[in-house]
Amino acid sequence: MTDVQTRTVEELTFPPEFLWGAATAAFQIEGATAEDGRTPSIWDTFARIPGAVVNGDTGDVACDHYRRMPQDVALMRDLNLNAYRFSVAWPRVRPDVGPANQAGLDFYRRLVDELLGAGIRPWVTLYHWDLPQTLEDAGGWTNRDTSYRFAEYALSVHDAIGDRAPTWTTLNEPWCTAFLGYTGGQHAPGRQEGVAGLVAAHHLMLGHGLVVEELRRRTATADLGITLNLTVADPHDPTDELDRDAARRIDALHNRVFLDPILRGTYPADLLQDTADLMWQGRPWADVVRHGDLATISAPIDVLGVNYYKGDAVSGRQHEDVTGFAGDHAERPTSTPFVGCEDVTFPSRGLPVTDMGWEVQPEGLTRLLKRIHDDYDAPVMYVTENGAAYADTVAADGTVDDPDRVAYVEDHLRAVHAAIEQGVDVRGFFQWSLLDNYEWAYGYGKRFGIVHVDYDTQVRTPKSSALFYAEVARTGRLARGGPTP
* Amino acid, res. 437: N
The alpha-carbon radius of gyration of the chain (Å, integer) is: 21
CB 77 within 8 A of CB 120: yes
What are the angstrom distances between the C-alpha of 388 and each of 308, 397, 409, 439? 10, 24, 8, 12
Q: What residues are paired with 462 via a beta bridge?
A: 451
471 is catalytic: no
Report strand pairing: 283-284 vs 312-314.
Answer: unpaired
The active-site residue out of 30, 136, 363, 385 is: 385
The active-site residue out of 173, 359, 410, 439 is: 173
In the three-class reduction of DSSP (H, G, I as helix; E, B as strand; rest coil), residue 380 is classed as strand
Q: How far apart are CA 296 and CA 45, in angstroms?
A: 32
DSSP state at residue 291: T
In the three-class reduction of DSSP (H, G, I as helix; E, B as strand; rest coil), residue 479 is classed as coil
Q: What residues are paired with 224 via a beta bridge?
A: 168
In the three-class reduction of DSSP (H, G, I as helix; E, B as strand; rest coil), residue 279 is classed as strand
Q: How far apart are CA 199 and CA 143, in angstroms?
A: 8
214 is catalytic: no
DSSP state at residue 181: I
Task: Give the residue from 398, 428, 457, 320 showing the smallest Cα distance to 14.
Answer: 428
Helix, strand, coil distribution of the chain in percent, nearest 5? 40, 15, 40
What are the angstrom distances between the C-alpha of 465 and each of 313, 316, 391, 425? 28, 38, 13, 26
Q: Within 10 A of 148 (CB to CB), how many other CB atoms are there?
A: 14
Length of the chain counted residue by residue? 485
- Residues 192-208 as b/e (b if ≥16 CB within 10 A, e otherwise) read bbbbbbbbbbbbbbbbb
DSSP 30-50: ---TTSTT---BHHHHHTTST
Q: What angle in degrees, to the nearest 10, is found between the helix axes of 196-218 and 145-161?
A: 30
* Amino acid, res. 284: P
Q: List the catalytic residues.
A: 173, 385
